[in-house]
A and B are shown apart, each in its own frame.
Chain A
Amino acid sequence: MCLSKLLFILFYGKKFELESKYLTIEEYTGDMFPTTVSIHFVWSAILFLCFYAVYRKYQENQISMLRNFYMFFLVWSTGFFGLLSAMLAVGYLQDSSMILTLGYVIPHFFAFISVGYLWRVQSSINFPKYEKLFYAFVAYGLVITIYGLSELPEVVVEDGSLVLGPESTFSMLIPLGMAISAVLIAGSSFYSAYRTSGEARKKLSLIGTGTVFALVLSAFFKNMGYSVTGEITNVVWVSLFVIVVYWSEFKSRIIDKLKGE
C-alpha cells in the first residue's frame, strides 16, 4: 500500500473506519483529495517551523549566513511547497488541468530562488566572491519557468496522487539544475565539515547530506507524491534539516537524557 494512503488513513482513520464497511481501500482512496497536496502541506508547515527557528536565532545573532538560511526555509516552505500545494488543491477542486500544470511549473521558480539562498549561505563561508551567483539560480529558475509555461507539461491526479504526463523537457531541466546546485552547495558544506571538528562537523555534514537528498535524490526518486521512495526521501531530508535547526533542543532533550546527564 502506498505510504501516502497510509498517511491518509492515519489522518482520516475514523471516517475511513466507518465507511470501509462498504468500500475497499482502493475504492475509498480513489476519489480522495490528492495525497500529494496533503503531504506537501505537511512539509510546508514543517519547513516553516524551521524558518521560524532560524529567524529567532537570527534575531539573537544577526549574521547574514543565518538570514540567508532562514530565507531558504521561508521561500521553500511558502513559495515552493506552499504554493505548489495550494495551486494543486485548487486545480483538483476545480478539476482544471491548466491550474494543475501551473501549480507544477510556477512553484519551481521559487524552488530555485530558495536553493539560491542556500548557495548564499555556503558561498559566504567558502567562496565570498561568488555569492552573486545567487542571481544565476534566479535566472535559471526564471528561464525554465518561462519554458515550462510555453511547454505546459501535462499533470493529472490519479488514484489520489499527482502524476506527470509524457516526459517533458521542463521536467528534465528541474533535476538537471538541482543536481548542479547540489554539487556546489553540498560540496561546499562537506568541505566546511572537513575543515571543522566536533559538533560543527556533524551539523555541516547533515546539511550537506540533506542537500543531496533534497536536490538530487528526491527528484530522482520522483518525490511528487507517487513514489514511496520519493516520499521517504522527503522524510529524510526534511528530518535532517529539522535536526540541524533544532540541534540544541534535540541534544538537550534527547541525547543528553539518553546519556543520563
Chain B
Amino acid sequence: MKYKEVFEKIVESVKDMIGKVAIPQANKVEEVSVDDQGKVTEGEIDSSQVVELITTYEGVMGDGAIAVTRNAVKELYEKDESVKDLDLPEEVLPKEVKAEKFVSAF
C-alpha cells in the first residue's frame, strides 16, 4: 500500500460526501495536482501530503473530515492490511490498526 492510494481514497470519500468541491481543496496541497476524478496527476505523495490533505478537509468539514478519512482508511485496511505500516495520524487509523500499532512498540 502506498500513500498515493490513501490520498486518492480520502479524496474520493470526501467527494462522495461533499461533492466536487473536494477536488479544488485537494489541489491546495502543496506540489500536488489532482484531476476531476480525484486521481493524483502530479507530485509525489508521502505522509506529509496525506496529513496536509486531512488538515485542508478539516478546515472545510471540521471533525467530519476525520471520520470520513477514518472510514476511508478502514476500507483500505480491509482490502490490504499493509496500511498499518504507513505513517498516518493516529486519529484516522481504524481501531485494530491503532491497537496493533500500540502494542507492536513493545
Contact = CB atoms under 8 A, between A and B. Distances in A.
A179 to B, nearest CB: 24
B58 interface: no
A57 B106 contact: yes
B91 A244 contact: no
B102 A199 contact: no
Contacts of A246: 106
A198 to B, nearest CB: 9
B106 A245 contact: yes
Contacts of B104: 199-200
Interface stretch (A12-20, A32-40, A61-69): A61-69
B36 interface: no
Contacts of B90: 63-65, 124
Interface string B92-106: 000110111111111
Contacts, number: 55
A125 B103 CA distance: 11
B100 A196 contact: yes
Interface string A123-157: 01110100000000000000000000000000000
A65 B91 CA distance: 11
B99 A204 contact: yes
A204 B103 contact: yes
Contacts of B100: 196, 200
A128 B98 CA distance: 11
Interface residues of A, number: 28
Nearest to B91: A128
Interface string A189-226: 00010011001100110010000000000000000000
Given A63-B90, A124-B90, A200 B106 contact: no
B99 A192 contact: yes
A58 B102 CA distance: 10
Interface of A: 54, 57-58, 60-61, 63-66, 69, 121, 124-126, 128, 192, 195-196, 199-200, 203-204, 207, 244-248
21 contacts: A54-B105, A54-B106, A61-B105, A63-B101, A63-B102, A63-B105, A64-B90, A66-B105, A69-B102, A124-B90, A125-B95, A125-B102, A192-B95, A195-B95, A195-B96, A196-B96, A200-B103, A200-B104, A244-B103, A246-B106, A247-B106
Interface of B: 90-91, 95-96, 98-106
Closest 6 CB pairs of A and B: A192-B99, A203-B103, A247-B106, A65-B102, A57-B105, A125-B98
